[in-house]
Amino acid sequence: MRLIGEDELENIAVGSTILGAGGGGDPYVGKLLARQQIREHGPVTMVGLDELADSDQVCFVAGMGAPGVLVEKLPRASEAVRAVQLLQETTGVAITHIAPAEAGGLNAIVPFSAAALGLPVVDADGMGRAFPSLELVTPTLYGGLCTPLAMVDEHGNEMVLRSPSNQWAETIARNVTLASGCVTMTALYQMTGAQAKQWLVPGVLTQAEDLGRLLRESRAAHRDSVEAIVNHRRGALLFTGRVTAVRRANERGWTIGEATITGTGPDQGSSMELRFQNEHLVAVRDGVVVASVPDLIMAMEHETGEPIPAEEIRYGYRVSVVGLPCDHRWRTEAGLAIAGPRAFGYDVDYRPVEEIAARSEVDA
């Protein structure tokens, strides 16, 4: 158990952008919300999974919608707080701890923006990264249900959804989010402490904090920040180049599109496309998929290592594209069935990024 204040929050925000794989919502927005709540209510207690009692009650708190909308339409901390309260009112069971649904971007920070609740945040999540759909969480692999799901929007609308499957809940909640203007706050996947210890990905907020600190320290020491992140996570440098085209639109409640990168240096003469649905789904080099979900694909500013979310990547950016390994559960048959490349319409076999860590293999 330890306290998370503004300094720790800064590192978590940067590191969660890397774990967001291009999505998860703008962490800067989340940082502003959480920082204000910490200033008003004090540092937030963060606990590890092993500190939970089996009888504790945990739920995810997460924003739902298109990350591209968040830069113009800011959520409010009060909506996250109200979503948790609404879930408690619905089930009649008091929530003792809250956790991020995903380790990436805004949603890694949202639990800290609910500091007014006075509840500890669990150092764990349901993805080990960010994914574009609410059923794509590790509890789904264990039969966990996301409903009852409490949803609150900026207009004062409140909804509690009960659904027979997580896929149905995603469909209905996504359409409600569209009607609300593409941004809502949710409380979902209520579980016991015993279930959380089995279902969730441990230590992800600490991992995000470590990544943020590593990025800051490598810059200060004038080391290659991209290389430092890749080595730390045992990932792969996939491509280096300049962004020469971007297509991006908010469609069906997601930010969907692709960025084209023209190679420079050792990658001169080649090109890469990053295709995203909130998060990067595949990296395509010269027409061949070289990395895919469920592994993490991230564009980072070439000189500084600053991670660039999919909704912010622009023409002219000089970037390094990296691939980082996902949590082992996504590489199982059940994990790949719902989060592998074919689940998103790409008829290719998944290949772990470790297999393409050697540069010569990427170039082949």
- Residue 221's Cβ-count burial label (10 Å; 0-12, 13-18, 19+) is exposed
End-to-end CA distance of the chain: 47
Mean pLDDT of 62-75: 74
CB 125 within 8 A of CB 104: no
The mean of the pLDDT values for the chain is 91
What CATH number is associated with residue 240?
2.40.390.10
pLDDT at residue 358 in the model: 54
Q: How far apart are CA 165 and CA 311, in angstroms?
A: 30
In a domain, 28, yes or no: yes
Q: List the domain range (segments joined by +) for residue 232.
A: 223-363
Same domain flag for 277 and 173: no
Q: Are residues 183 and 229 in the same domain?
A: no
Cα within 13 Å of Cα(87), Cβ side: 30
Sign for the pseudo-dihedral over CA of 203, 341, 163, 77 = positive
Count of structural domains, the chain:
2
Which one of 154, 172, 204 terminates a domain? 204
Are 350 and 257 part of one and the same domain? yes
- 284 belongs to a structural domain: yes
Is 212 domain-assigned?
no
Helices (H), 64-153: 67-70, 77-91, 106-113, 138-141
Rounded alpha-carbon distances, angstroms, from residue 79 to 106, 114, 211: 14, 9, 29
- Shared domain for 200 and 276, answered yes or no, is no
179 and 255 both lie in a single domain: no
Q: What is the pTM of this model?
A: 0.91
| pLDDT per position as a tens digit, 81-107 | 999 999 999 999 999 999 999 988 788
- In this structure, is residue 218 part of a structural domain? no
Instruction: Please indicate, yes or no, whether residues 154 and 239 belong to a single structural domain of this protein.
Output: no
Q: Summarize pLDDT for 282-325 with one digit per residue, the tens.
A: 999 999 999 999 999 999 999 999 999 888 899 999 999 999 99
Residues 241 and 356 in one domain: yes
209 in any annotated domain: no
When mean pLDDT is compared across 93-102, 103-112, 211-220, 242-251, the lowest value belongs to 103-112
The reply to whether 214 falls in a domain is no
Q: What's the pLDDT tens digit per position in 259-288?
A: 999 999 999 999 999 999 989 999 999 999
Judge whether residue 122 has pLDDT over 80.
yes
Q: What is the pLDDT of residue 360?
A: 43
Q: What is the pLDDT of residue 68?
A: 63
Can you give the pLDDT at residue 34?
A: 82
Task: Flag whether pLDDT at 361 surpasses 60.
Answer: no
